[in-house]
Amino acid sequence: MRFILSLLSLFALATSAAVAQNAFISAPADMTEVSAGSTFNVTISQPDSNSSWKNVAIVIALLNCNEYSSGCLGPTEELGTVLYSGPYNPQFTTEPGTGGLPPHENFTLIVPSDFEKGQSQLGVALFDLIGALLFPSLQIFNTTIVVT
């Protein structure tokens, strides 16, 4: 019985650590218009935490929603065209006037010139390891942009 309680406690600690540091898209704002063939900036923020964690990799992708009758499937079902995959290393900004920002990283990405116009899902998948035991965590989140 003690073993089961210990296991449940460990799971609860790992889960609370994962929830405490959920990453999110700071920019672009929901429904931002971006031209096909142009560059745009994406900022992924991850609140600071007392828990230790190690970011392993991030994928940022774009999926056009026109082919689905009920909108995009969601990033857990399909990410779409990968615009970036690689390391993620959020940092506090030292520039004046940005002291309130959580640790974040900016990515300058290009919308493919032949990307279909219309509402599109900007989806992100972030894999990190949390806590002293390096509990694996996959965060998936998204926002909507409009490709013009």
| CATH number of the domain residue 22 falls in | 2.60.40.2550
- CA dist., res. 106 & res. 44, Å (int): 7
Q: Judge whether residue 32 has pLDDT over 90.
A: yes
The number of folded domains in the chain is 1
- Residue 1's pLDDT is 53
Structural domain harbouring 97: 2-147
- Residue 2's pLDDT is 52
Locate all alpha helices (DSSP H) within the chain, ordered by sequence.
Answer: 2-20
Place of tokens 């899902």: 121
pLDDT-based confidence at residue 7 (cuts at 50, 70, 90):
very low
pLDDT in tens, 44-54: 998 876 678 88
CB 147 within 8 A of CB 118: yes
- CA dist., res. 13 & res. 51, Å (int): 10
Q: Judge whether residue 60 has pLDDT over 90.
A: yes
Q: Judge whether residue 87 has pLDDT over 60.
A: yes
**Looking at the chain, which runs of residues are DSSP E strands?**
24-27, 32-34, 39-45, 53-64, 81-86, 104-110, 118-130, 135-147
Q: Is the pTM of this model over 0.75?
A: yes
Q: Judge whether residue 116 has pLDDT over 70.
A: yes
Peptide bond into 28 cis (omega under 30): yes
Residues ≥6 apart with Cβ < 8 Å to 55: 46, 87, 88, 89, 90, 126, 127, 128
CB 50 within 8 A of CB 127: no
Side by side, the strands of the sheet bearing 24-27 are 24-27, 39-45, 104-110
